[in-house]
Structures are given as structure tokens and as C-alpha cells.
Structure 1
Amino acid sequence: MSTVRTVLGDVPPERLGVCDAHDHLFFGSPLLPGQELSSASAARAELAAFRAQGGGGVVQWTPYGLGRRAADLPALSRETGVHVVAATGLHQAAHYDGALLDGLRGRLADVFVAELTSGIGTSGVRAGLIKVAGGFHALDAHARWTMIAAAEAHHATGTPIAVHLELGTGALDVLDLLCGEAGVPPHRVILGHLNRFPDGTLHRQAAASGCYLAFDGPSRAHHATDWRMPDTVRALADAGHGDRLLLGGDTTTAAARSVDGGPGMPYLLRRVRPRLAAALGEELVDRVLTENPGRAFGVEWR
């Protein structure tokens, strides 16, 4: 049986509602100084704005050590009526102090499993997702270490693994490692940021494995990929992969929040949804926003 593990407890996949499959309520990294997502009131306002657009669920991909504020998530979920899924996992090495990483050597998989089964820190909030990250067109030693640990945690708990692909690259290398070497079933892997690397052939190759493909976040100016996304998503749907597509907002800085003048979480439903519906039809877009996330983030408890 599969259930989605939210910060308020397990819910059936069909109850997740219209879902932002990749976003952040709290996030902080030394690579983004002064742009931390650290305000609970701003997070509440963002969730409320998403709810006002018809949103029902948000999957926060913020992993270990990057300001998840897990203890604040249950109240925010209750107050706004939006289901929230929290993550364990580890981002790229550049986001962390070396001493923190050294302290995790030899026990990383155990940390992931503990946060999935017992809770994040003293919050009591159990993660429902393992988030890891690749590099630019390659997997370095840190990526391999974290992905192998994520695979071990998956095998122990049945939890899905979400992968930050740097600028959308390295998808096949990730699948070779997670699904080939480490034995994770492809339908338990979610590849993120594919909108940033609009290579249709690569997308179809990845989708053919059975993994989920996330198109998450409006383009930065130098990415210039938003206008390609409807055609990319339609091509995948036409090739029979409509049941493997996910959409998200990926708000990572304070300036990007809608309450601070950015697109934020509501943009996914306010602008992206109608744009895709015009290209793909309402029925498919509805399934991508509701049925697909329910399956992708369902935990097959062991």
C-alpha cells in the first residue's frame, strides 16, 4: 500500500490535491547569502497564496542542513490547509561546511533512515522524501556518496528519491547509478530541473526507464527555456509518458517569493497551468498536477 507522508501524517495519494511537486518554504545556503527563506510568516503567506489558486499540496525539497525548519511545518500546513511533504537527503557539497560533511561520513544512510522513520531532529516531523543532487553533466564523489546512501535508505523504507539535476544535466548518469548499480526501481526516482535542459531525446530516454520527470521552476533570464516547455511536455505525453510528468515552482530565494514581488508558488497555477493547458489540454494537465504527484511521492512502506 502506498501513502504520502506529510508533516501532519500519512494521507492517501488522492488526497494530496493539486500539487507543487518541487518547492521550498525554508531554505538557506552559503551560495545565496542574504536570500534565505527563513521567515515563517512569509512561508505562511506563500502557502495561502498557493491555496487561493487551488493548490492542495507542496513538496519541500530542502534537505539536511539547509534550514528546513521542520518544527514549523505542521502549523503552517494546518493554518493554510495545504499538505506539506518534508525531505531528508543532502545537496551538493558546495552548500555545506566541510566539517558537517565529515561528521556524516560512515553514517549518512542511517541519518536518512532516522529522519524518515523517527523524525527530523527533535521536531517529530518525519520526512517523506529523500533529496540528493548531481553535478553538471557528471557525478562527482560527493554525488555518488549521497546517492548510494539515498538508495540504502530507499531500500530500508520504500521512500522515493528526488534528484536535483544541475542545469537539468546528467539524467542518464543518475539513472545508471541509482537504478542500475544501486537497484532502486525507476518509478521511485524523480528527476528535477529537466526544463533547464530541453533535450527531447534525452527526456524520452529517461522517461522510458519509468522514472518521473519534473519540470520545476520558471526560467532565469539566461536559461530561456519556458517557451520550450509546452512542446517538450507535449512530446513526452505523445510518446506515452504523460503519467510520468510533474510540475513545480522551486522557489529558492526570498526575492522569488510572490509576497516579495517574485513569481513564487502561485505562478505554477496562475501562469504555467493555463499555458500548458492550452498546449496539452486541461485533462492531461490536471492529471500531471494531481494523479502523478500522488503516485510519485507515495511511500511504499516496508
Structure 2
Amino acid sequence: MSTVRTVLGDVAPEQLGVTDAHDHLFLRMPRLAGEELDDQDAAIAELAAFRDAGGDTVIHWTPHGLGRRAGDLVAVSEAAGAHVVAATGLHQEAHYDPQLLAGLRSGLAELFVTELTEGIEGEGPATPRAGMIKVAGDFHSLSRHTRWVMTAAAEAHRETGATIGVHLERGTAAALVVDLLCVRLGVPPAKVVLGHLNRSPDLGMYHEVAAAGVFLAFDGPSRANHESDWRLFESLVALAEFGCSDRLLFGGDTTTASARAATDGGPGMPYLLSTMRPRLTSELGEDVVRRMMVTNPARAFANDWR
């Protein structure tokens, strides 16, 4: 039976409810020095604000080695009253100490499998299991590091059934990722989620990867340094008209402390529901928006765990 692996245990897909399909409660990266997401009370407040706006689940895409604090996600989930799905995986090479990567060189797939099946150790008082694998592409290319990580992710998928979520750098290299993961490494397209597609509004590319059968995640709305919301709506309307509404996902991708709504920043997690959902409903209709926020996430992150 398919279930979604949350930090509090496996749940039926229909229990996810309204889902933020790509976000972060804890995150620490050198490029974001001074903006770390490392305050547990702030994480609880942000998740509770999302819940109060009508949200039920957040997919937490922070991978191994980037301040994920998986052991603290249990307390955050319990305190806020919302589901959280944690991630294993690795980001781009630039985000890590070379010594850490060298230590993983011969056992990366095993690490992913362990965190998915046994639990994530050393990141807080609890040892929750990860419920997805996060990997990352490069700008219009796939580096040697990226191919190594994606190959390990594909192996871990084969052993566990876990969904693979992909950070697309500025929304690029989507076709290369699909070719590597799905064609060359044999990961079923329905087990691949492509993130950040809104950052490169290329309808031809959207159609190409949608036809392959992967899930298409549009996340991080209302950022001045990315494509603005009007391009987001334009893209989603086009994809819905193309018949892809059963593969669309929506998320916030909150990556900095100043972007949290609960601590007087923004737009934050609640923005998806307080501002974006009414506008999406007006543009796409209630049925499509429900697919994006309820039905599709339940399909994308539910797995027959092995």
C-alpha cells in the first residue's frame, strides 16, 4: 500500500491535504550567511501560520549536510499540528566542504537508503526517516558531481521506492535531468519532481518534460530576482490547457530568515494560500488548484516503500 513517509511516521496519501510541495523549515548554506533558517521557534511559528491559513503538509527539501535538523522536525511538526516530510540527498558541490564529499564518495547511495529506511541520526533528539531524495542540477548542464549524486539517488530509489526531487538551477537543464534519471538510470517519471520551473518560463521545455510524465513544481513565487508572478500564471494556464494539470505542484521555497512571514518578513509559507491560491483559482479554476495543492502532491510523494 502506498504511503507518504512523514517525520511522525507513514500516513495515507489522502491525509496530506493541502500541501506546500517544496519548502524549508531549517537551512544553512554559505551563500546565505546571516540568513540561516536555524531558529526552532521561528520554524514552528511559520509552519503554524501555514496551518492557520489552511495548509496541512510541508515537503522539507533541505538535504544532508545543509542544516536540515531532521531530529528537530519532529517537535516542529507536533507543535504546529502539520505534517512534515524530510529529505535525504545532496545539493550542488559548491555548497559542501570537499572533505565531507570525499567521505561520502564510496557510500552515497547507502547513506540515502539508511536515512529513508532507518532514520536520520545526529540532527536532534529524534531520528525520523526521510520521505524523499533531493538532488540538484547545474546551470544548463550536469556536472560530474551532479551525475554522481543522481546516480546514487536512482540506486536509492530502486531500493526504497522514494521520490526524487530535483533543484533545477534557475529552472534550466530539465531535459538533461529527465534523460539521465528516467532514460539512462531507469527511474519512473512519476517518481521525479522537477523544481524551480518558474525560474525559466520556457513553454516548449515545459511541454517536452511534461510529455515524459514527470511532476512539474512551480515554487518560490513573488521573488524580484526570479520571474514574476504574472509569468507564473501564464505558464500554469498554458500547461493546464496542454492537459498537464495532473502533474503540476506548487510550493514556496522559503530559504532565508527574512522571507518568513511569521517573523515579520515575507512572503513566507502562508502567502501560497492567502494570496496565491485565490489568484490561481481565478485563473485556473478550483479543480486545477485542488489538483496542484492536494491531489498531485499525494500522488507525487506517496510510495510503495521497500
TM-score category of the 2 structures, normalised to the smaller one: over 0.9
CA contact (8 A) 2:157 2:163 kept: yes
Moved more, 68-77 or 247-256: 68-77
SS in 2 for 1:300: coil
Q: Once superposed, what is the RMSD of the aligned Cα atoms?
A: 0.9
User: Which stretch of structure 1 is more off in the superposition, 244-253 or 114-123?
Assistant: 114-123
What is the aligned counterpart of 1:180 among 179, 183, 195? 183
Q: Give the letter aligned to residue 83 of structure 1.
A: H
Deviations 1:274-302 (A, max 9, x none): 11111001121012100100000012212
C-alpha separation in 2, matches of 1:179 and 1:127: 22
Q: Which residue of 2 aligns with 1:28?
A: 28
Given candidates 261, 270, 273, the residue that maps to 1:266 is 270
Task: Choose from 224, 233, 236 the match for 2:236.
Answer: 233
- Structure 2 residue 246 is the aligned partner of structure 1 residue 243: yes
- Distance in 1, matches of 2:99 and 2:86, equals 24
SS of equivalent to 1:175: helix
Matched-pair contact (CA < 8 Å) for 1:7–1:127: yes
State the SS of the aligned residue for 1:31. Answer: helix
| AA aligned opposite 2:289 | V
Q: CA deviation at 1:223?
A: 2.0
Q: Which of residues 285, 289, 292 is equivalent to 1:288?
A: 292
Residue of structure 1 in register with 2:90 after alignment: 90
DSSP-derived class of the 1:49 partner: helix
The answer (yes or no) to whether the contact 1:87–1:129 under 8 Å persists in 2 is: yes
In the alignment, the residues of structure 2 paired with residue 125 and residue 224 of structure 1 have an alpha-carbon distance, to the nearest angstrom, of: 35
**Paired residue type of 2:34:** G
Match of 1:55 in 2: 55
**Structure 1: which 5+ residue stretches go unaligned?**
none
Q: Is the 8 A contact 2:135 2:167 kept in 1?
A: yes
Contact kept in structure 2, 1:198 and 1:225, CA below 8 Å = no
For 2:227 and 2:134, locate their aligned partners in 1 and report how far apart those are by CA, in whole Å.
Answer: 26
CA separation in 1, counterparts of 2:229 and 2:304?
A: 34
In structure 1, C-alpha distance between the alignment counterparts of 2:4 and 2:271, rounded to whole Å: 24
Gaps of 5+ in 2: none
- Distance, in Å, in 2 between the alignment partners of 1:276 and 1:248 is 13
- One-letter amino acid of the structure 2 residue matched with residue 105 of structure 1: R
2:201–2:227: 8 Å Cα contact kept in structure 1? no
Deviations 1:165-185 (A, max 9, x none): 000000000000000110000
How far, CA to CA, are the matches of 2:304 and 2:228 in structure 1?
Answer: 34
The sequence identity of aligned pairs, in percent, is 63
Is residue 5 of structure 2 the alignment partner of residue 5 of structure 1? yes
Q: How does 1:119-138 map to 2 (within 5 A)?
A: 119-122=119-122, 123-138=126-141
Aligned counterparts of 1:287 and 1:191: Cα–Cα separation in 2? 17
Alignment of 1:64-79 (within 5 A): 64-79=64-79
Contact 1:31 1:94 in 2 (8 A): no
**4+ residue runs over 3 A deviation:** none
- What's 2:104 paired with? 104
Question: Counterparts of 1:198 and 1:275 in 2: how far apart (Å)?
Answer: 19
- Letter of the aligned partner of 2:106 in structure 1? G
CA contact (8 A) 1:3 1:300 kept: yes
- Letter aligned with residue 221 of structure 1: A
Q: Helix, strand or coil: the match of 1:237?
A: helix
SS of residue in 2 equivalent to 1:270: helix
Q: Deviations over 1:221-252 (max 9, x none)?
A: 13233111112111111111101000000000
Paired with 1:124 and 1:25, the residues of 2 have a C-alpha distance of 17
Aligned length: 302
Whether 1:163 aligns to 2:161 is: no
Tell me the CA shift for residue 268 of structure 1. 0.7
* Residue pair 1:5, 1:85 contacting (<8 A) in 2 also: yes
- 3-state DSSP of counterpart to 1:73: helix
Q: 2-side partners of 1:20 and 1:238: how far apart?
A: 23
The residue that corresponds to 1:217 in the other structure is: 220
1:300 aligns with 2:298: no
